[in-house]
A and B are shown apart, each in its own frame.
Chain A
Amino acid sequence: MSPDEILKFLRLSYTALSDGALLVLIALALVLIYKATDVINFANGEFMLIGGYIGYQLLIWLQVFESPGLIVLLAIIGVVVMTTLIGVLVERLVLRPLIGEPIISVIMVTIGLSNVIQAIVGLIWGKNPRPLPIDIIPRFSPFRIELEGARRPLNLLPDTLIILAVAFVLVGLLLLFFRRSKHGIAMRATADDQQAAMSMGISIRFIFALTWSLAAITAAVAGLMIAHVTNGVSGDIHNVSLRAFPVIILGGLDSIAGAIIGGFAIAFVESFSSGYIDPSVKTVAPYIVLLIVLMVKPYGLFGQKRIERV
């Protein structure tokens, strides 16, 4: 490989890492809800959207404080509180009446919800993109990799590493929550068998509300980071969540490990196909990989196989 090609390979891999971290977070929000409640949330992208916009609004309102660090910290706390509320409300008002209905109805109600949230965001903030007043993640100068014989040096933004770190910390916290905390274990029990969990004294309602708010928080954090990467909030944030569907199907709908591996796998497929074949292939390449995997493994790579009885 020539030095230029090595640098190109490095650049594409580096892009894939930050994209992958975002996809992992988005996919995680979907998997969380699917595992505990058997619902696939088509409004996930809208949770990201509303998280991004709430963050934007808080950053503006909190300008009265002097230190940017304090503003960002308070804004993030605000976003977490608000999205928790939204998650609980959505579960209570929209999803709970549909328990026991066919999958298609549940899919449709989340699609309806996504339209409502998009409309609300559009009515409040309009459709023009708005730049964030303060950087959520501090901007450091890029580090530079030079190779002998290469035409141009490679500049890598350190933001990627921070996003990656945030994703890892969040995933780690969630895993710790599932392994160690009382409610996390209750969530796993609910995911495993709702009837059995209920008879052991676990409040299914509380667990569902908890799941939806955790997923909403995860999605909102992803939304904030996308807003940072794209230098502002816009109506396009929710489109990123469509890219997470191949991820969760590839990894298996109910597997957290699947979401992590699938997220990076799809990000690498997107990055390399756009770099080496054609930029436009990026949108379809994940789906083609997905179809091939589904032909061989119909429940994804790590998905639990359902045994059906008649």
Chain B
Amino acid sequence: MATQSGIYHQTYESDMQLRPTTAQRVRMVLVIAFVLVLPLLVSQNEVRIVNKVMIAAIGAIGLNILVGYTGQISLGQGAFLAVGAYGCGLLMVYFQVPWGLALMAGALITAVVGGLFGLPSLRLKGLYLAVATLAAQQIVEWIIIRWDPIDGTIDGKATDALRIPSNFLFGNSAWRLNDNEYAFYYFVFVVLAIVVIGSVNLFRTHYGRAFIAIRDQDIAAEVMGVNLFYYKVLAFAVSSFLVGLAGGLTTIHSTAISFERFTIDVSIAYLAMIIVGGLGSISGAIYGAIFIEILPEILRSIGQALVQNRLVSDQVFVTVLPFVQQGTFGLLIILMLIVEPEGIRKLWSNIKDYFRLWPFSY
């Protein structure tokens, strides 16, 4: 079993391990093997969905660092995604920066912008801060819609969309990241792995511990010697860096980007991910991203199956589907919060505990 009791560490090295038991290591190898062969088993369209899930997972981990670990509510996720996406895209379009460099630069720019919007967090708490980040969302969205130079032209006509140049992995023209889902899949998986390892380790350093202390009780943390101003702004910057990375990856993955992908609804979807998955947990952010991104696709395929079996007409399917998706999304959030406020991660560990302790569950 993945969780086992009676583990006694005898050296500091074994105590520091992220995966101390053999069972956990076996499971990790199995997961990695599964991820490596997954694209061979499913269609291109399904790989595209998995890619979107992995990008969302990076963004959700970023948001979870801010909301789940540091306790600063943010409704400006869409705005920070947009800063990363447009930062990366504009550098590529106007300055012909190579995509790898543009991606990192976009993430860094987002970190700076995020830190800037994090400045009020020293004085504002809870709901007041949430609405201040809503201001970030509105202002960034407005700039994208209104400021013409950051929009591009398509076929000579000015549009709200920014056309993204081709990005090749290792300069190989067969691996075009914009639409070769398989190439992008392996690339984004490596990025996700680095992000996961990095953020899991972040909370084993004094920075991460300071974030958690601020979440639990900020005045107590300050008394204990945590510099609130420094660490709150740092939390905003670190979180925004990852969110910007997710935004930049969206850019590299697409042929054009426009503001519709970064609205307040996106901020809400990301919040839903970390809450449904589990606040204050890296694995929770990943579970949540999988759940929230795949749910509409599952509903769509159920609907398509119904249409094929002549149970509903095409017309009904098209008009009803968006509302069913939206309603299910809302209903699941409500049910999740009422049934298990700590999210899928907790449900999963409850299931594991049940089997681990079976048949003596006390």
Contact = CB atoms under 8 A, between A and B. Distances in A.
A308 B221 CA distance: 13
Contacts of B268: 111
Interface residues of B, number: 46
Interface stretch (B86-94, B104-112, B236-244, B329-337): B329-337
Question: Which are the 10 A-B pairs with shortest beta-carbon distances?
Answer: A115-B330, A119-B327, A112-B333, A287-B135, A116-B330, A122-B323, A112-B334, A298-B123, A112-B330, A119-B326
Contacts of B67: 104
B173 interface: no
A253 interface: yes
Contact of B275 (A105, A122, A127): A105
Majority secondary structure, A binding face: helix
A126 B337 CA distance: 29
Contacts of A40: 127, 130
A108 B323 contact: no
Given A109-B333, A119-B326, A284 B219 contact: no
Contacts of B127: 40, 103, 107, 249, 253
Interface of A: 40, 94, 97-98, 101-105, 107-109, 111-120, 122-123, 126-127, 242, 245-246, 249, 253, 280, 283-284, 287-288, 290-291, 294-295, 298-300, 306, 308, 310
A123 B126 contact: no
A298 B124 contact: yes
Nearest to B339: A97
Interface stretch (B5-13, B46-54, B138-146, B193-201): B138-146
A110 to B, nearest CB: 9
A284 B131 contact: no
Given A112-B334, A284-B138, 5 more contacts: A117-B330, A127-B319, A246-B131, A280-B145, A298-B124
B14 interface: no
Given A101-B341, A105-B275, A105-B341, A113 B132 contact: no
Contact of B324 (A119, A291, A298): A119
Given A98-B338, A287-B135, A115 B329 contact: yes
B322 A122 contact: yes
B132 A294 contact: yes
A202 B323 CA distance: 41
Contacts of A288: 135, 139
Contacts of A122: 322-323, 326
Contacts of A104: 67, 73, 271, 275, 279
A117 B123 CA distance: 35
A109 B337 contact: yes
B128 A111 contact: no
A107 B142 contact: no
Nearest to B72: A104
Contact of B327 (A105, A108, A120, A242): A120
B330 to A, nearest CB: 3
